[in-house]
Amino acid sequence: MRISHAVLAIVAALPLSAQAAPTAVFPAVFINSSPEPTSPAETERLKTMDAALTKALAESGQYQPVDLAPIAADFSAVRDIHDCNGCELDLAKKAGAKYAVVAWAQKVSNLILNLNIRIEDVETGQVVKAGSADIRGNTDESWSRGLRYLLKEYVLRAR
């Protein structure tokens, strides 16, 4: 079956969000394995990372973040979404998503941290994209650069 040029033109003219897959972007988790307590600045960096990740996914045209409010009660019972034996897939499915996105930052010390993102297909449980970036220095700039690198090299890169 041949697709006409008119049909292709209509599809190409659709807004990217119409073509984007519904995606459950769960709040990032902070894992502090350092001896220092978690600082308010780190809590803010995690929130900033969440917002930047969600925005970048939406603007890519590949993913359309879904509202997680309908599953808030189920989600509130989960202690660590990145390591919950696949519960993120069930929650994403309940939210009507095709993909589940989990992100986490791990602090080893104020000098050594890593940022991680995993995107899974809700139906198959397969990891479709994933990446980890080690960052040096616990600053707004190092977190921002680490996230930009992850997005560019692993998450939004065409494969």
Separation between Cα atoms, residue 146 and residue 152, nearest integer Å: 10
User: What is the predicted pLDDT for the residue at 85?
Assistant: 80
Q: What average pLDDT does the chain have?
A: 88
Quick: pLDDT tens for 1-29: 343 333 333 334 444 445 899 999 999 99
Split at pLDDT 50, 70, 90, the class of 157 is confident
- pLDDT over threshold 70, residue 100: yes
User: Are the C-beta atoms of residues 108 and 124 closer than 8 Å to each other?
Assistant: no
Residue 49 lies in a domain: yes
What CATH number corresponds to the domain at position 106? 3.40.50.10610
6 occurs within a structural domain: no
Residue 48: inside a domain: yes
Res 44: pLDDT: 98
127 assigned to some structural domain:
yes
Total of domains in the chain: 1
DSSP code, position 125: -
Report pLDDT digits (tens) over 129-149.
Answer: 999 999 999 999 999 999 999
Q: According to the model, what pLDDT value does residue 18 have?
A: 54
Angle at 65 between CA 79 and CA 121, to 5 degrees: 70
Q: What's the pLDDT score for residue 159? A: 61
The predicted pLDDT at position 7 comes to 35
- Strand 63-65 vs strand 21-25: parallel, antiparallel, or unpaired? parallel
Answer yes or no: is 1 within a domain.
Answer: no
Q: Is residue 60 part of a domain?
A: yes
- Which alpha helices (DSSP H) does 77-113 contain, by range? 87-94
Q: Examine residue 3 and state whether it is found in any structural domain, yes or no.
A: no
Domain containing 88 equals: 16-155
CA dist 26 and 84 (Å) reads: 13
* Secondary structure (H, E, C), 39-78: CHHHHHHHHHHHHHHHHHHHHHCCEEECCCHHHHHHHHCC
Specify if 2 maps to a domain. no
- Which residue type does 81 have? I
C-alpha span between 138 and 11 (Å, rounded) = 44
User: Whose structure tokens read 């990145």?
Assistant: 82
Distance CA 151, CA 148 (A): 5
**29-55 confidence digits (pLDDT tens):** 999 999 999 999 999 999 999 999 999
Quick: pLDDT tens for 108-122.
999 999 999 999 999
